Structure 1
Amino acid sequence: MTSTFPSTAARGHLPPPGVELAFEQTVPRSLAHRRQIGEVFVTDSAQVSDDDFHLSFQIPRAHSLWSDQRPGFHDPFASAEAARQSIFVLLHRHLGVPLGLPFSLQRITLRVTDPQAYTHDGTSALQGYVHYRVTERRSKGSDVVGMVLEGAMEIGGRPAMTLSAVLAFMSQEDYDIFRAFQRAQKPVADARLTPARRLDAGLVGRENPRNVVIGLPGPEARTDGGPDGGAFRCLLAADPHHPAFFDHEYDHVPGPLMVEGMRQAAVAAACRAGAMATPHALTVGCEAAFLDFAEFEADLVHEAEAGAPGPDGRVPVAVVLRQFGKPIVEGRIDLLPDAAPLPPSTARAHGV
């Protein structure tokens, strides 16, 4: 997960001199592709050249999803969601992309460059700045059909994260034809969802059971992925009424939900393989290539396999999401383990 975008340290603090970004209010929810005002995290934006954009964000301290973790650190995935929304804002507010025009993230990559930037004192909200640069535009006639963004994030004056995103655009008519063709190639009509029980929250580093999005097929199910190796397999098993993942209606499984499933499967796989002593870890890297749309009518299977920890302690976990036997998302999650032990009650309950 490398990027050619220059580091924050090399460019100075964000935003640059002369650019003032506020934290007084959020941008209009339509710009961030959110229906609920409380799910909008971008607070301001500015364009400084044809290709350079600066944005500010703040995550609510009591957010039902992003504050659901043990004290000590903010969740880097919360700032990644703010960075995702920032892409929508810069496209619509500054690049003239019409609201409602279908487009998709084909690939996302992020890497936490300074985990200490996410230190949480228990009282401060997670807020910071994002700088995006458009490094590539692909056109068909006068229409932009693709774009590559490289980004850097600063939190508390520290270079916190680097990001990249590959976008694809199409007209509503082309999108409708494309989706209809895709679904016609799949056995959607004959598909059946396997009943799955969600994993206990403590096993994936969560506290609120509603925020668990993966599960096992049946009360007696067993999986691979123990100390002897092999992939850990589980099913997407999210609450379909979750206010963050299902903020509005979708015709396919939302990308942020699938990525959270990747993260939780990675945590479970790393613990089962002995690569982490506890499920409490900071997510310090994510790479996801979206190869196809995932349909709601059929099982979405996660396969996660942990690698050996790196010199800095990061545990890489390869994750593939499959539907109808074909890969939908391929990627990797990097975890930085927390040395703190499981709560005694959780450890006893699961034989840890």
Structure 2
Amino acid sequence: MSHDPAASLSFDTFVPPATVNRRSAVEVFVTDHTRIGPDEYAIAVRVEPGHPLWSDQVAPWHDPVAIIEAFRQAFVVVRHGYLDVRRGTPSAVQHLTLDVPELAAFRVDGTAPLQGVVTVRVTPRDAAYDIAGTFAVAGAPAMTLSFDSVLFPRESYREIRAYQRARRFAEPLAPAAEAKPFLPEAVGRRDPANVVIAPAAPGRPGRFPLLVDRTHPSFFDRDYDHIPASLLIEGMRQAALHTATEAGLRGGEAVLTGAELDFGIFVEIDVPAECVVSVTGERGAITATVGIDQGGVRVSSGTLALTEVR
């Protein structure tokens, strides 16, 4: 890898939204990109401090979860711009890991964007790609992240999805009961529009209904026939933050600093789903075991690490 991939990259102008499979320019993080090796790439990214979702957290830090989206956009740039994957090819993440070794890189000063360079190695594997790399701020590593992405034949994707759905939901399911969302401050948010879970129903502790707003400008900036991973991750994080507070493991604000997550099955938009969470640890360092349940099946699972900051 190049020792300083940022040297030749610009942070001045965002790429067109279609370049990263987005519609709104507000949701674009990539500003520049280049190949730095046979299977290595450097992508400049910038997250504006006023972003309606990724700048909404109560904690006085840029949101590390925004860089998951930056990595997704980086892979879109690589696969279409360098690997000749046809635009519109459906894909899905199956496994994701991240670690934040230097939280200070995400400190907010109130005006400056979060910007840095995503450097990734993209390795083809059958009908999938393994993506692994770092996010560096001013040349210093601030996050490591890896995920795999499965590509589906465009012509047969709808048939694949219909078959999966028919097998899982042979019988009609009862509609979800109307659920009132948490207050924003209970889940680390300021804007009620960004709250994606509701309190657990009586007799179902640790199981929080997932709220799906298909008009949300960030989670649903493009058409999906399933719940996107970004919304699942946010639901699990909000459930973990609330549960940690209830367990006395969180007195101040907490930032996501680690994750290991598996996304085994597509999560349907029109079927009720729950975020299932338990927490362990001590004040300041929290580990949450998380999952998404739908139709009696655990469709996503893993662990999150939360670090309390003051």
TM-score interval, smaller chain:
over 0.9
Q: Write the distance in 1 (CA, Å) between the matches of 2:87 and 2:49.
A: 29
In the alignment, does 2:266 pair up with 1:284?
Answer: no
2:266 aligns with one of 285, 293, 310: 293
In the alignment, does 2:49 pair up with 1:61?
Answer: yes
Kindly state the Cα deviation for residue 239 of structure 1 after the two structures are TM-superposed: 2.8
In the alignment, does 2:135 pair up with 1:138?
Answer: no
Q: Which residue does 1:194 correspond to in 2?
A: 177
User: For residue 194 of structure 1, what is the amino acid of its counterpart?
Assistant: A
Instruction: Check the 8 A contact 2:212/2:269 in 1, yes or no.
Output: no
For 1:155-304, what aligned pairs fall within 5 Å after superposition? 155-187=137-169, 190-191=172-173, 192-216=175-199, 221=202, 223-224=204-205, 232-278=206-252, 280-304=253-277
Q: Write the distance in 2 (CA, Å) between the matches of 1:326 and 1:131.
A: 36
In the alignment, does 2:26 pair up with 1:38?
Answer: yes
Kindly state the Cα deviation for residue 242 of structure 1 after the two structures are TM-superposed: 0.9
Q: Which residue does 2:95 correspond to in 1?
A: 107
Instruction: Check the 8 A contact 1:114/1:159 in 2, yes or no.
Output: yes
Kindly state the Cα deviation for residue 275 of structure 1 after the two structures are TM-superposed: 1.6
In the alignment, does 2:84 pair up with 1:96?
Answer: yes
Structure 1 alignment gaps of length 5 or more: 1-10, 140-144, 225-231, 340-352
Q: Write the distance in 2 (CA, Å) between the matches of 1:322 and 1:168.
A: 22
Q: Write the distance in 1 (CA, Å) between the matches of 2:76 and 2:300.
A: 21
Instruction: Check the 8 A contact 2:97/2:146 in 1, yes or no.
Output: yes
Q: Write the distance in 1 (CA, Å) between the matches of 2:4 and 2:185.
A: 36
The 1:262/1:123 distance shift into structure 2, 3 A limit, reads same
Percent of aligned pairs sharing the same letter:
35
Kindly state the Cα deviation for residue 13 of structure 1 after the two structures are TM-superposed: 5.2
User: For residue 301 of structure 1, what is the amino acid of its counterpart?
Assistant: E
CA RMSD of aligned residues (A): 1.9
Kindly state the Cα deviation for residue 71 of structure 1 after the two structures are TM-superposed: 5.9
2:298 aligns with one of 310, 324, 327: 327
The 1:59/1:188 distance shift into structure 2, 3 A limit, reads farther
Range with greater deviation from structure 2 (53-62 or 208-217): 208-217
User: For residue 278 of structure 2, what is the amino acid of its counterpart?
Assistant: E
User: For residue 244 of structure 1, what is the amino acid of its counterpart?
Assistant: S
User: For residue 66 of structure 1, what is the amino acid of its counterpart?
Assistant: W
For residues 212-243 of structure 1, the C-alpha deviation after alignment (integer angstroms, 9 at most, x for no partner) is: 0001366xx4653xxxxxxx210111433110
Instruction: Check the 8 A contact 2:59/2:254 in 1, yes or no.
Output: no
For residues 253-285 of structure 1, the C-alpha deviation after alignment (integer angstroms, 9 at most, x for no partner) is: 11111111011011111111222124x211111
Q: Which residue does 1:150 correspond to in 2?
A: 132
Q: Normalising to structure 2: TM-score of the pair?
A: 0.94
Q: Which residue does 1:227 correspond to in 2?
A: none
For 1:112-131, what aligned pairs fall within 5 Å after superposition? 112-131=100-119
Q: Write the distance in 2 (CA, Å) between the matches of 1:335 and 1:85.
A: 24
Instruction: Check the 8 A contact 2:176/2:271 in 1, yes or no.
Output: yes
Q: Write the distance in 2 (CA, Å) between the matches of 1:51 and 1:309.
A: 41
In the alignment, does 2:5 pair up with 1:15?
Answer: yes
Q: Write the distance in 2 (CA, Å) between the matches of 1:164 and 1:295.
A: 25
Structure 2 alignment gaps of length 5 or more: none
In terms of Rg, which structure is larger? 1
Q: Write the distance in 1 (CA, Å) between the matches of 2:212 and 2:259.
A: 20
Instruction: Check the 8 A contact 1:57/1:128 in 2, yes or no.
Output: yes
Instruction: Check the 8 A contact 1:188/1:297 in 2, yes or no.
Output: no
Kindly state the Cα deviation for residue 189 of structure 1 after the two structures are TM-superposed: 6.3
Instruction: Check the 8 A contact 1:13/1:154 in 2, yes or no.
Output: no
